Every structure is written in structure tokens, then in C-alpha cells.
Amino acid sequence: MRVVALAIAAASALAATPALATPLTLNGRPPAIINHRGASGYLPEETMEAYRLSVAQKADYLEGDVYVTKDGVAVMLHDGTLNATTNVVAYAATHPEIKALVASGGKYNVTDFTYAQLMQLTATFRTANGYGTYRAGYYDAGFHYQIATLEQVADLAYQTYLDTGKMIGIYPEAKQSGLNVADAILAVLNKAKYNGYFNAAHKTVFLQSFDSNQVAYMNGLTDIPVTQLGICPTTAAQAAAIKVFADGVGPSLNQTNAACVALAHDAGLYVHPYTFLYDATVYDTYYAYGVDGVFTNFAPIAYDERTTMFPVPEPASLALLGLGLTGLAAIRRRR
Ligand code: G3P
Ligand code: CA
């Protein structure tokens, strides 16, 4: 039955016409839109401005990478160094106390900075190696974009839920090596002020790492789903082995195809490939494979393609209606 459905899906994708009424995802719902580093196709990645734009662009999850500062604050940064995404080099030229933090090769390591020192820097677009193609009309060159904290992102997601009822989720990646980063992430998610909003039953959070030790560690600490990045199973045995310590996989686009998605699903693993950009036909192809979510820099394109292919209510709205989240609804009513 699944083979027939996949064949229909593949043919539909090739024809570039909307055809699927029922997604081939693990839970049968349309794929989740996971905004990669916030709205990073529009604004400097992993800043609060980029995450607020994610919410406005109807993303389901706010993705970002986590490091812990010298003084213990979980901050959102993809690189372990600040050179490519902040003005640190220019800033250090006139600030000797920052210049003193330089490491080998002229690099500035995130973990050598206190949070207050990081706040002095301005986050910028990534200019090296042509990583991004950014949409014009959003970036303000005179604005002091600052590095976000994980707690600020969690606050945004929770406050959006309180204000609108939409269950925006977050998707932090333990990017820094060492298990303390996982502990720091969970400490934020478990803060009392969130009233248990970030938990598995509410589908409001995923955790992720490329490091299988990190994935297994997080899986042992929490029932929040944990994603093993960088792989899509090529055999049933491999899928079963991943399922022992992870709940899903996050392969690159090149690693992902209809066969591996089916193998993963058969083992009970969800599939969230990375990274989708601005070519709408790519979304159509992977949606037809049955992927459960997409890490995208361009949420509006992911949203439009999803709406065309699966013209049903958003997953988050379905979750709110279908799961009977009376406790959370009560929280909203009390405000
Ligand atoms: O976390 C999914 C995707 O973001 C992995 O790639 O390098 O952007 O963290 P990266
Ligand atoms: Ca990431």
C-alpha cells in the first residue's frame, strides 16, 4: 500500500502539481515547518529579530544551536567562534578587553566570553563562503542585533502560545561538545515559569545533536523527542539501532530519499531533513517522500508548498484541538 502511495507521490512531485491529500508522515499530519536558525533567510541568524519573524511567518518550531558562555548562560550560536556572524574583529580593534580574548588564528571562542561581553557585539549576516542568499527589505544595517539566549527563545514561544493559542515549539541543538550543554538546555526548558509547556505530550519541543553520545545522554534524561542528526537509515537493522537511543533522524537533503524515510518510519523514527532554501520544488519533492518536518531558512515557502499539497489546518492547531490540552488552556484563561 505504501509503495503505491510513494509511487503516486513521486509522480506528483515530478509533475509539480498538488496531489497528496494524506501526508505519508509518521503521524499522518502535514510536515512541520522548523525555522532553521530563526528566519535566517531574512535576518541575522539566531537573533531575537529572526525568531520573531519566524513566528510572524507561521513557523511551527524555532530552531537554533546552543553554546554555554563562560558564566553559564545558554546562548544561540551556530559556530563555536564569533568571527563569521558578529562584528567581533572590528569591535575588538577599539576594545582592548575584548581583543584580549582572541585565540589562535585570530578566532574568538564563544566559551571564552561572558554573556555581558557577548551582548556588546552586533550579530551580522554570514558573509564568508556565500552561505546565504538573503531576502532584501528586512535587514537594517544600523541596528544592534544581539545574540539571543535560549531562554529568550523559549519565552517567545511560550508567550506566543499565551497570546494567540498557537503552540509554537522550539528545537534546540546541543552544538557545543560536552554534556553540560544538554544539562543547560534542559534547565531552561524545565523552568517553572513555563508551567510544563515544553514537554513531549504537547509536541512543543525537540532536542537534537550530531553527536550520538549527546543524543543518548539527552534521551536518558527526558522523554522529549531527541533527533540524531547527520544520518538517514539505509537498512532496517540500522534504523532499529538508531531507535535504541534516538526518536528521530535529521539527515541532510542529500542523505534523504523515499526509501530511507520509509525505513525510518517502519522503525518508528521521524525524519526532519536539513536545510531547505528558496526552491519551492525541493519542498514538494521531500514532502512527497513523507518527511515529518523540514529545517528551512524560508518558512513562507515551506508554508505555501505545504498548504498547496496538504490543504488542511496547521499541525499546531490540530495539536491544540486534538490533544485536549485543558491544563494549558486553563493557563491562558487565567491571564
Ligand atoms: O540542526 C539541523 C541543522 O541545523 C543541522 O545543521 O549545521 O545548521 O546546525 P546546522
Ligand atoms: Ca542546527
181 pLDDT above the threshold of 50:
yes
Which atom of ligand 1 is least distant from the CA of 272? 2
Rounded mean pLDDT, 34-45: 96
CA 26 to chain centre: 19
Which atom of ligand 1 is least distant from the CA of 78? 9
For the record, the C-alpha cell of 320 comes out as 491544540
- State whether the beta carbon of 58 lies less than 6 angstroms from ligand 1: no
Which of 274, 277, 291 for mutating ligand 1's site (highest number of atoms within 8 Å of CB)? Answer: 274
**Confidence bin at 12 (pLDDT 50/70/90):** very low
Residue nearest to atom 5 of ligand 1 (CA): 274
Q: Where are the domains of the chain?
A: 1-20+321-335, 21-312
Q: How far is the CA of 252 from the centre of ligand 1 (A)?
A: 9
CATH code: domain 21-312 is 3.20.20.190
Rounded mean pLDDT, 68-76: 98
Residue nearest to atom 10 of ligand 1 (CA): 78
290 pLDDT above the threshold of 60:
yes
Rounded mean pLDDT, 220-228: 97
Please tell me the predicted confidence (pLDDT) of residue 311.
86
- State whether the beta carbon of 295 lies less than 6 angstroms from ligand 1: yes
1 pLDDT above the threshold of 50:
no
